[in-house]
Structure 1
């Protein structure tokens, strides 16, 4: 049986009508998924983004790709993902590189609000949140951010396109990478300490 090949969809094609339709499609994927794992190397995981932080991210998307400006529609859909947390036994295991806490999107006040929101997320039902310290020894070389949905689909975002991986062997590679990255992550109070340290820098 022929395995499905990775699908590359260019952002200019996906965003022909703005950010809203893309965020709608991702919201539906989040709704269908029961178990997901996420590695975010340089920004906060989408499900945990505040409205102001998401607005800053999507403003960059609109400006960079010169697409229709419907940032507010995109923000509404992106922040709607949070409604599924704690529902129907969904689980979310997320790894943030320490850099994700430091990447300034929206300015100091937006970042303060965002980091406080991440702190609150440590106690959300179904959420396991780890932070990989910048100086941690890694068990695998660092790569790009990615998300794994129910062990069957991997989504990888690049500057030019969104890569959807469904081929079993390729999905397994990302699962192995996640497991190795997880070894270097801090959880619980240690993760909280890293987040609070960044928050103190901004106050």
Structure 2
């Protein structure tokens, strides 16, 4: 499985630093000579080459010009921006509230044809009822101290989720059985959500599998992720949201999804696990 997203960012910085170092060596420059040409202190050259200080667009441009490699700067700048943007703190994403975050994903949802979704913690947004979504988003807003726009955010999520019943989208979804047992909201909210899952299983666009507690694991439980059309992965952690597009990273998540899907039961067996979770609410 891929490393934590923040590690992927550091790896991207190290790759950039290595390329800049190669440019310097190819130009026959010492760190001090490079620093003189760039107009900064020698220690800055060392920090950038050591991937200890992130290089700005201007740093990359100056470095390449000093090494007579100005034509290489645009590609390096683009790669550097991608690495900086792929791991974004939730605090930054949600500082204007949750509604805009729900709306921001609408275009991606509309253009995606195949969604592969693995959830180990909560029911995926595609399949959430308004009550479940409200309880979940309320807890997120309180935890992250974001503006209270939960009502508007739920409405935006429900509009976004229309893709599950419209167009030619397909959804391959795998849940851990624990997702069925966690109570988000009160018992009635959870019961309504589980009932909705049973209904969703009948949709022709949805393949929903559940990994039972008792299954012998060949792939460990991991953090929730979504793969969009084999091109892009959203992998979330407590502190940040990562967007991964490098082919190697996407392939790792596809490999993980394949393994997790192989552990899941589908059809009547999956419906049985949902039904048992519903019955347990009365216990």
Which category of TM-score, normalised to the shorter sequence, fits these structures? over 0.9
1:73 aligns with: 152
Moved over 3 A (4+): 1-6
Give the distance between the partners of 1:47 and 1:99, measured in 2 at CA: 18
Q: Which runs of 5+ in 1 are unaligned?
A: none
2:112 aligns with: 33
Deviation for aligned residue 1:86: 3.8
Give the distance between the partners of 1:56 and 1:133, measured in 2 at CA: 25
2:52 aligns with: none
Larger radius of gyration: 2
Establish whether residue 18 from structure 1 lines up as the match of residue 120 from structure 2.
no
Alignment of 1:95-106 (within 5 A): 95-106=174-185
Structure 1 counterpart of 2:232, from 131, 143, 153:
153
Establish whether residue 42 from structure 1 lines up as the match of residue 121 from structure 2.
yes
CA contact (8 A) 2:112 2:229 kept: yes
2:135 aligns with: 56
Which one has the bigger helix percentage?
A: 2
Pairwise CA RMSD of aligned residues? 1.4
Deviation for aligned residue 1:73: 1.1
CA contact (8 A) 1:90 1:126 kept: yes
Give the distance between the partners of 2:104 and 2:245, measured in 1 at CA: 17
Which one has the bigger strand percentage?
A: 1
Bigger RCO of structures 1 and 2 (CA < 8 A, at least 6 apart): 1
Give the distance between the partners of 1:73 and 1:32, measured in 2 at CA: 23
Alignment of 1:1-203 (within 5 A): 5=83, 7-203=86-282
Q: Aligned pairs, how many? A: 203
